[in-house]
Amino acid sequence: MNKTTQQKQFVNRELSWLEFNQRVLNEAIDESNPILERLKFLAISCSNLDEFFMVRVGGLHLGIASESTQRECTGLLPDEQLNQIRGRANEMVNDQYQLFNDSISKSLCEAGIKISSISELDGQQLDAVKTFFEDEVFSSGSPLAVEEGRFPLLSNQTVNLCFRLKGDQELQLPLFGDEDLFEERLLVIPIGKRIPRFVFVPSKMPMELVFSEEIIKHFASRFFHEQEVLESFAFRLTRNADMRVDDEVTSDLVESMEDVLDERTTGECVRLEVEGTASEGSIKFLKDELSLSDREVYVCKGPLGLSSLMPIATTTGFDGHKYVQWQPQAVTTISPTESIFDSIATEDQILFHPYQSYDPVVRLVTEAAEDDAVLAIKQTLYRTSRNSRIIEALQRAAESGKSVTVTLELKARFDEARNISWAKRLEHAGANVVYGVRGLKTHAKATLIVRREPQGIVRYCHFGTGNYNEQTAKLYTDISILTADTDYGSDAAEFFNAITGFSSPQELRKISMAPTGLRKKTMEMIAIEIANAKKGKPAFIRGKFNSLADDSIIKQLYEASQAGVTIDLNVRGICCLRPGVKGLSENIRVVSLIDRYLEHARIFHFCHGTEDRVFISSADWMSRNLDKRIELLVPIESKSGMEKMINVLDTYFNDDHKAYQMRSDGTYRRRKRKSPKVSSQACFQELACKEVADAETRAPISFTPHTSTS
């Protein structure tokens, strides 16, 4: 396939991701959203872009360094991709700062939150920031001299201040410029993470703050005494975080991952952000010292690192400038007073978080830890919360003598340090900890509880689309299934024995596992729809997931479209498929939803000759998920569970409130709104509340008389 044909059939993965981040930024632009929610989306879009440069751009730099000739699905080499990324990312950065300067700051001030410059402060406020400078900065800050070829080692993703000073021949200090004339010199003051990014000042307004770099610039003479400051500006480095561990050869994975964490602080610089006031000469000096090209330099017209504003967006108070809070609702089919094992044994429990509470998942593990009838607990952990009740329960279970086996993935990017800490605590408690599977990431979400009951051994399982993280379970949409079904239990036991025992799993009864069978199962399901369409039978495929980037799956979907299969896909982020191309994909529709909760659930629905097959999964349709990770595809077979998942998909595809339609050129546009508009997330919250209200209405009324205490 030549390059032109590839570009007609596929969308570049990195550019598709940037389009996703634009949709996030659009929520910050949308003035119908409350201002603190707009600020939150702006901060998220900036944080997303930081990670994109650390990982995706970092990976492309590694490809260039290794002289890779591997082309991605549209036929581009790493260097060609970086050129295209530069144009689109620079446009996005300019939009972020224009939004912050022209709209967000003004609206925040109207809401009672003022971001002031140092020149706007009155005497009392200046006294307050001077105290901050003396206490927090001057006593601990360290100006670092800069000379050509000896640039200081500065931390990743932290703000630094650069000062260009008039030289002093008598001091014989490092130079910036002509060596003989001692004209100028350069010093850097790292702000780092120990100094607050902004300082709150006394104010008549509910909240007023100043960025710390503004304060340091203003009082910089304390560092430099009588020397003349010719120029001062902030800059920020982004380092390559795509550090990989070859766990096929390493003997100590924990030690290797700790080395990776160290490398991230000193890795190659892949982006230089500089404040818009910086002179061309200073930018050129920094660029040369860091071995960067113009492509890696981003000039920002405002405070660097706007993601640091997230604490303001989530500050307490100001409720009138946030979304009305939605509370996770109780699961009406699970008794709050009886053992959760009884509820699961009665029927499969299908939960939709965060509309329905995550507590039943936590209860399953915490009850198992305390239950004398429980013999063993097995669980996969990928990303966990800081104060995890689940891990605390696993610790208690191990300490009480139960058999506890945890597959804890150390290669969960940016969560490595926390996972290493948890692993050591679990091992100390007596749990068996397996650090993932050699050569693969363990991304599956599964729990197995083995319990001795009067009728014999019963296995209780949880499978989910999201991590065992109680905090993100309040912010991400995910699906859970809790079941005591014998076949699920058998498959779960086989799954855990395979990943902890260094063996290949035997034939599974219901679930499919990557990398051994999940791709095959998915492609078989698509093939059935193709065959049925060719026979004139009903045929459709519907899916909701995060990313679509696997070449083979995309090509098979094109084949299905050409055979007459109707395909509806709700893809939150990356989508390398081009929908609606005549003769290729005219039967494929792709939508994307960005709303208050991060869409994270993965649900698949196949017509299967009108018999309906519904699955949930931990995996997206990406090569890394299907071939390089341990993942699970789990069928939903109960009638009520299938109906629930099908209704969920129906609601998603009817959304015209926050949904975007993908066009064949890879761009997105808001779906045209109907009247009344359909907000899928609002519908799900209303339904969860209604289920609780209906259950309370059905609950029998009982009278309990007061009796004498004597």
Query: Which active-site residues does the annotation give?
Result: 443
Residues 348, 350: Cα–Cα separation, whole Å? 6
Helices (H), 501-638: 518-534, 551-563, 623-627
Question: What would the two tokens of residue 2 be?
Answer: 């030549």
What DSSP assignment string belongs to 622-684? Answer: SHHHHHSEEEEEEEE-SHHHHHHHHHHHHHHHH--SSEEEEPTTS-EEEPPP-SS---HHHHH
**How far apart, in Å, are the Cα atoms of 454 and each of 298, 335, 458, 461?**
67, 21, 10, 19
Residues 206, 317: Cα–Cα separation, whole Å? 10
Name the nearest CA neighbour of 484 among 459, 464, 508, 465: 459
**How far apart, in Å, are the Cα atoms of 388 and each of 59, 297, 313, 400?**
32, 40, 24, 19
Residue indicated by tokens 């946030």: 322
Helices (H), 141-252: 212-218, 221-224
What DSSP assignment string belongs to 468-494? Answer: S-TTGGGTEEEEEEEE--HHHHHHHHH
CA angle at residue 175 from 174 to 176, to 5 degrees?
A: 140
Coil, helix or strand for 515? coil
Question: What would the two tokens of residue 625 be?
Answer: 């998920």
**From the DSSP assignment, how many helices (H) and strands (E) are in the chain?**
22, 27
C-alpha Rg value of the chain to the nearest Å? 28
Question: What would the two tokens of residue 187 be?
Answer: 């010093």
Cβ–Cβ < 8 Å for 113, 34? no
Question: What would the two tokens of residue 590 be?
Answer: 């792709």
Residues 653, 74: Cα–Cα separation, whole Å? 28
3-state SS, one letter per residue, for 256-294:
HHHHHHHHHCCCCEEEEEEECCCCHHHHHHHHHHCCCCH
Question: What would the two tokens of residue 68 be?
Answer: 């890779």
Coil, helix or strand for 23? helix
Residue indicated by tokens 């709700």: 570
Residue indicated by tokens 């689109």: 88
**How far apart, in Å, are the Cα atoms of 132 and each of 21, 103, 190?**
36, 29, 16
Element holding 36 (H helix, E strand): helix 35-51
Residues 524, 542: Cα–Cα separation, whole Å? 15
Residues 89, 298: Cα–Cα separation, whole Å? 9
Task: Categorise residue 691: left if φ over 0, alpha if ψ from -120 to 50, beta otherwise.
Answer: alpha
> Is the peptide bond prior to 676 cis by the omega test (within 30 degrees of 0)?
yes
Question: What would the two tokens of residue 144 be?
Answer: 């670092």
Name the nearest CA neighbour of 567 among 553, 586, 548: 586
Coil, helix or strand for 554? helix
Element holding 20 (H helix, E strand): helix 13-29
